[in-house]
Structure 1
Amino acid sequence: MDASQERLDALFPAPAPAPKGSSVTPTRLVGPDADSVDALVEVLQKNHKNLHIFFNDRHFHNHSTHHMLAIYALGAGPKLIKAAYASHEAYQRPAVSAPSPITKENWKEHLGDEAYYQSYLTFFSDLLLKDGPSAVFQQYVFSKDANFVPANGKSERPNMYNRLLGGLVHPMIHAGYGAEFGQMGMWAEGLSEACVEQPQPTALIPDSFFEELFASTPSIVSRLASIALSSSDKPRTQGKSTHALSILGRVASDPQFSPAAIGLTPESGFGGLAQVVKAVGPVLHKFLEEWTVGSTQAELDEKISELMWMNTVVYAVGGFGARKYASNQSKEFNSDFLLMHLVTSVLFVPSLASYLPHATAAFFVRTYFITSLALYIMRGRPALPVAEFFATTTSKPAPRGPQPTPSTEVFTRGLDTPESKANWLAGGAHTITTPNPWLPLIQSTMVHPDEHLCKLQRALMHFATLFGTVRKGAFARVAEGLEGAEELDGTLFVRAAGLTANRLGWVREGEAHQQWDFSGFIHAV
């Protein structure tokens, strides 16, 4: 085996289990075998070696590896993995040699320039194989040098953390796959993508919040030795933290966050994020003071769980509330492309946080929270009719069209008459043909050509695994700011998955491939 293949094998080994330590890291479905592993590793390596991180000059991101890892985690076999990859390979841009190498001395000099992506990829691959992701992640994303110290001869800050969250949090998602699946190559691609991406508005996260992080972060020597929690890196808290759903409810109902008050229009696009920060940034900063993280792993997991609920409410209930503005004709659900990314990205928060000291992890979780709120506002702050959502949508979604014909022996023992048996088979048809709604949802998702659908449904299924048994009333007191919060229960996630499947099409069952909604909600408010 030559040295280049050995390097690829080190960057893309067989997938590892999700990091331990957090109670909310993702799990995987049964299904993949050794041939699945071989197919996955093959396509991940091909993508790394041959393709660019953007597939056009508008910085649209290469999602092929996201797609492969997501369906692998859902149980895909080798033929499906290879077929899905081929569908992406056809339109991607090839890798392009960079003008010059990236080194420790000049790595900040070419930030934002996609021509240097390949050199950044080599640079971070070398570092990760040598020092490991914890040290590299901390030094090149969360350190003072990576955020505040300009390159020689330049005045602009590097802003690496804001670059990680830039581009609709795609660099974070990409690195998140590396964190969850133990893929150094995905880490390298995600960090390189952050380097050539534009940062989110720097004023969204106040400098004082960074300075507090830098003051509590261990030295580089101790980071390389260990990322264990010590007394010096526990975050400061200020009393009991407000629940994320309570703050979300305030944002949803307060006129100062409306598109009109901020000056947003349907044409604002991603430029609207800067408008949001300028108009209500100080208010968002006050929310950071309320939404704190305690000093234990259990407290960190609790706040990550709040993010999973909040971002799903934004996507699902927000899309339901603005359904009459959806671009599809059914008017059932506005499956917003941007807000969908809040759900797919929060899946990786626990895996990424597991590679950080506790203070840094708390900083990451809290600033991701404020970023999520800002993106919700930027998109038009759709209404959140929680009670109507639960009264109207189904917790038992099923594929549309012909259903199996059950045997007359399905739990008919004990029914005394032919009439009682017929009534049971007719009245219990859904219970019999779709006893677990997640199974047909995932089966159809795995073969759907849209690379975002598998990511979303996988995230929603994981959240349902964690929280599916939560009863109505669980949020009545903690989320008092959110109208209808007392109706919120663990069926949120399967309802969201069913609405999305209906919107994007049950292609396995013969329906046409439909598209996400892209128009946003500014015109709907």
Structure 2
Amino acid sequence: MATPTKICLTLNSTGIVKNKPPTEESAAKASELLQENHEKHHIFFSQEGFHNHIAHHLLTLYGLGAPASVIEKQYQHNASHQRPNYPIQERNVEDMSNPEHFQKYLGKEQYYQDFLTFWQGEMEKKGWENVLNEYLFAGGERADNLLTRMYAGFLHPLIHFGFGIEFQQPAIIAEALAQACVHEAWISPYLLETEAASTTTSTKTLTQLLDEIRADKKLSMAAHWEDGNKIRDGILVRAPDEMISYAKKWTVSPSQLEEKTSEMINAAIYYTAAAQKPPKQVKFDFYFMHCVNSSIFFPTFNAQSWLSPANKVRLLKFKAYIDLAMYASRRSPPLLLSEISTYVPKKLENGEVKWPELFERLFEFQDDGHAVKLGRAVRNGELVSEGGDGDKKEREGFRVRGLMWEKIGNMVVDSVEDTGKTWARSVGFEEAWVEYEDRPRQTRL
């Protein structure tokens, strides 16, 4: 049984995207290695804040039916460069129970293990759902501070949180809360001010807002190549009012939750896949990719009976605010839908390349898990956008549909297997593409 301190995967907790069913062997191996990571490794593998993605990677592989041997191989590849946890300081854990003292530990990576222990203790006493409703979703300054930190670090705490909820693992949820606690809170004012400014209902779709952001030269040019963080040091310094003025126009009511969730997922995949620069190699932007990889969890959030409709709406709106800021922060690149619709898969000579084969290739691709997560998230986008039937229904704000889904899946796998670096970074800047080769595009109607 899974607990706040024990990871235990079962064949009843296999995730939202189905491929091959996991086995008892893969469940046992993934549980063993996730437990080892949980006990031994820090959430950052460097003091500069680079994230430990092992939990994301192994849960994705497990959910898609990768064999135990692949799970073991990918774990060993990534465990080799992780940092050990700091020793637990019991006095810190006790002090965190004092609300007046809790704040002084926030944003400091050396307290990750102490925070993890604190959250585990709270969950054991109160139950993990009650802890989340008390500390994350209660509203007020303390809860809002922690909730908005979930969206920091290019959405990594939110992604970690999503995996914990999706696979029903309280220990992973505790890791996510601890991870959020050791991130900085610079994104909080943007999220909360946008929410406060969103006082009237708007019918704007995310794709309409992406177009408007690109047309606004002050905003779309606000980030500079030399900015250390192009949202924090670019958009929110040189065009904060403009950014909020667009983001606040995306509104959601509880009755719209399912449709707006699907819209967010479709839009994130659209701008991530369509932000190409022909004739350069097809590559995906590293930052946009995180918006897709985090999108997969929102249907699961919406299905939680313990979470109020208002908080489900809030989670979704904050995600969209981040997506819009992320697009603006990469200089709002042109979005070329034809790069998707006319894409010719590299292994087309073997017949149409379908999802099972794509996932098999991603099982073997050796990275820190971003690639297979992206493939799974794109497949989820197809399921929520098309209703699982693969038709070409047209819905307002949904620009990816029909045959484009498997084309994007092929683009993901082909691009990471291709030469050069796996990801492009900040694709709206010319500098992001200088190291990639020019390639002629093939057109296949």
TM-score normalised to structure 1 length: 0.73
Task: Give 2:315's aligned residue.
Answer: 364
For residues 331 and 268 of structure 2, the distance between their equivalents in structure 1, rounded to whole angstroms, comes to 15
1:277 lines up with 2:236 in the alignment = yes
Cα shift readout 1:138-184 (whole Å, capped 9, x = no counterpart): 32223345548xxxxxxxxx822221111111000001100100011
Cα shift readout 1:472-515 (whole Å, capped 9, x = no counterpart): 7x25xx34xxxxx8x75333332222222122117xxxxx7852
Q: 1:440 is matched by which residue type in structure 2?
A: E
Task: Give 1:81's aligned residue.
Answer: 71
What pairs with 1:160-179 in structure 2 (closer than 5 Å)? Answer: 160-179=146-165
The correspondence for 2:215, drawn from 253, 275, 281, is: 253
Task: Give 2:440's aligned residue.
Answer: none
**8 Å CA contact 1:64, 1:88 repeated in 2:** yes
For residues 513 and 135 of structure 1, the distance between their equivalents in structure 2, rounded to whole angstroms, comes to 47
Task: Give 1:437's aligned residue.
Answer: 354
Task: Give 2:325's aligned residue.
Answer: 374
Task: Give 1:101's aligned residue.
Answer: 92
Task: Give 1:303's aligned residue.
Answer: 260
Secondary structure of 1:142 counterpart: coil
The correspondence for 1:493, drawn from 405, 410, 414, is: 405
Distance 1:350 1:373, change over 3 A: same
1:341 lines up with 2:290 in the alignment = yes
Task: Give 2:374's aligned residue.
Answer: 456
1:517 lines up with 2:424 in the alignment = yes
What pairs with 1:115-134 in structure 2 (closer than 5 Å)? Answer: 115-134=110-129
Q: Indicate the RMSD between aligned Cα atoms, in angstroms.
A: 2.9
Q: 2:42 is matched by which residue type in structure 1?
A: H
Q: 2:406 is matched by which residue type in structure 1?
A: V
Unaligned runs of 5+ in 2: 433-445
Q: 2:385 is matched by which residue type in structure 1?
A: F
Distance 1:15 1:375, change over 3 A: farther
The correspondence for 1:188, drawn from 147, 150, 174, is: 174
For residues 293 and 434 of structure 1, the distance between their equivalents in structure 2, rounded to whole angstroms, comes to 42
Distance 1:200 1:457, change over 3 A: farther
Cα shift readout 1:427-459 (whole Å, capped 9, x = no counterpart): xxx5xx434522221110011112110100011
Which segment is superposed worse, 268-277 or 72-81? 268-277
**8 Å CA contact 2:283, 2:422 repeated in 1:** no
The correspondence for 2:60, drawn from 55, 64, 70, is: 70
For residues 127 and 86 of structure 2, the distance between their equivalents in structure 1, rounded to whole angstroms, comes to 26
Task: Give 1:392's aligned residue.
Answer: 342
Distance 1:81 1:64, change over 3 A: same
Corresponding pairs, count: 421
For residues 465 and 362 of structure 1, the distance between their equivalents in structure 2, rounded to whole angstroms, comes to 21
Distance 1:247 1:17, change over 3 A: farther
TM-score normalised to structure 2 length: 0.86
Cα shift readout 1:299-341 (whole Å, capped 9, x = no counterpart): 21111111111111111001x2x244xxxxxx23132111111
Q: Percent identity?
A: 25
The alpha-carbon deviation at position 380 of structure 1 amounts to: 1.9
The alpha-carbon deviation at position 74 of structure 1 amounts to: 1.1
The alpha-carbon deviation at position 278 of structure 1 amounts to: 3.7
For residues 347 and 194 of structure 2, the distance between their equivalents in structure 1, rounded to whole angstroms, comes to 51
For residues 268 and 500 of structure 1, the distance between their equivalents in structure 2, rounded to whole angstroms, comes to 28
Secondary structure of 1:291 counterpart: coil
Larger radius of gyration: 1
Distance 1:288 1:380, change over 3 A: closer
